């Protein structure tokens, strides 16, 4: 599988998990309360943006979850043998 398709799987999982954790809270509210651009949240939730590490941490904090827990949710959505590196 191409690296772009593999990367997209990660971004899609991130998007779904951010949306789930955000729940009924609007993107605008999450953005404004946590000093995150609404456009960044929107593009992440559409699977179009690979967030910087600092944004990932801010999003996790904004959604009341530890960054490693958010990462675990993403990892759990991926196939068990998933790897970005072809060997």
Q: What is the CATH number of the domain that holds 42?
A: 1.10.260.40
- Report the candidate in 22, 20, 16, 17 with the shortest Cα–Cα distance to residue 34: 22
pLDDT digits (tens, 9 = 90+) for 70-82: 999 999 999 999 9
Which two tokens mark 26?
């609007």
pLDDT digits (tens, 9 = 90+) for 45-59: 999 999 999 999 999
Q: How confident is the model at residue 32 (pLDDT cuts 50, 70, 90)?
A: very high
Question: Quick one: pLDDT at residue 82?
Answer: 92
- Report the candidate in 10, 6, 11, 5 with the shortest Cα–Cα distance to residue 84: 6
Euclidean distance between CA atoms 25 and 74, whole angstroms: 20
The model's pTM is 0.90
Residue 61 belongs to some domain of the structure: yes
Domain that holds residue 63: 3-77
Mean pLDDT value across residues 7-17: 96
Per the structure, the count of domains in the chain is 1
Q: How confident is the model at residue 85 (pLDDT cuts 50, 70, 90)?
A: confident
Residue 40 belongs to some domain of the structure: yes
Kindly tell me if the per-residue pLDDT of 87 is higher than 90: no
């Amino acid at each position: 599988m191409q690296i772009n398709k593999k990367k997209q799987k990660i971004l899609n999982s991130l998007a779904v998990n951010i949306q789930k954790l955000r729940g009924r809270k609007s993107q605008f509210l999450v953005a404004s309360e946590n000093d995150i651009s609404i456009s960044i949240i929107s593009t992440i939730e559409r699977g179009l943006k690979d967030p910087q590490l600092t944004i990932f941490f801010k999003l996790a904090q904004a959604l009341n979850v530890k960054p490693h827990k958010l990462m675990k949710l993403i990892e759990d959505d991926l196939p068990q043998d998933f790897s970005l590196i072809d060997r």
